[in-house]
Amino acid sequence: MTRCPTCGSTYSDDAKFCTRDGTQLVAADRAAASSAPSLVGATLDGRFRIEQKVGEGGMSFVYLATDEAGGGGRYAVKVLSASLSHDANAMARLRREASFGMRLEHPNVCHIIHLGETDDGLVYVVMPFVDGEVLADRTNRLGHLPLAEVVGLVRDIAAGLSAAHALEIVHRDLKPENVIVRTLPTGQLQAVVMDFGLAKERAAGVELQKLTATGIILGTPEFMSPEQLRGRPLDARSDVYALGLVTYEMLTGALPFEGRTQQEMMIARLRDEPIPLRKVRPQLTLPEGVERVLQRALQRNPDDRFASAVEFADAFAAAANGNGSSPADGLLGKLFGR
């Protein structure tokens, strides 16, 4: 049997991903042994005091910590699970996340400030604690989000991705579970992109290429681009595709491809056209250009998509404002015969 380390669901041995949340499955006996390390109350590096466990993923546990040496600020400490501490690939991915995160200081990215190791050999990374609501939870709670709110969140996510893309880093696993929505002192909502643990530099060396050679099984299947499903080289346009899916789900509460199983949904992305927004939510009232912009972001061929996340965000905002002369319209007309 295999088990989802996030929600606890069990599956047969041949299953690879949880159908509920997309988490990569592990052997049931190993998952049972992967209990959270007893770190509550401990102080790491003589500085970060662990207060409580706040989350758990496929290969790590996340704790809330207080910086006792730096004015009492709150931080998130991500610790590799003990059962995976001897897994060279898992360790390499966590260390790679740290090396990327330390270069990605941006208001819309949760950057990493420290990489350390406990006396027991547990590797961890320290990040600012982002106090907010997971985008997936927000969408599920509300059913769908208002267009004006989606425009702002898309702008923020695109800005964070753009900062990574400028460093030749592709996120590879953008999804609503990896975005936190927080409220600024001004009352404005802000999206922060989390978890660059599967991120990959486009100019990767031989060792990194080996680590990510199994890229087709890395990431969350529901939000993988067609080229990622096929195990092909990725660039910023793969993240644009994922952002298009995230945007679609924010607007409708659903994804634009259907399937009874994970495999059927993946095949649909490789063969079918996205389901129109109004078919998913007939009562949804949106400017016509919004549909066209999303269709372009979700093109199977990367060459037919927006070249950058910011270009997509700008076109989406223009369409949402009813601007029929957005820069995207000319190419969209060619693509869809309009």
Which residues are the active-site residues? 173
φ/ψ of residue 112, rounded to 5: -95, 135
Nearest to 306 by CA among 247, 231, 264: 247
Q: What is the DSSP string of 173-232?
A: ---GGGEEEEE-TTS-EEEEE---TT-EESS--HHHHHHTTTGGGSS-GGG--HHHHTT-
54's enclosing H/E stretch is strand 48-56
Rounded Cα distance between 303 and 218, Å, is 23
Q: Nearest 5°: CA angle at 29, between 24 and 33?
A: 90
CB 200 within 8 A of CB 212: yes
Cα separation values, 44 from 26, 149, 229, Å: 28, 39, 39
Rounded Cα distance between 242 and 174, Å, is 6
Please give the structure tokens belonging to residue 313: 């965000």
Please give the structure tokens belonging to residue 24: 């990569």
Please give the structure tokens belonging to residue 179: 């975005």
Rounded Cα distance between 9 and 2, Å, is 9
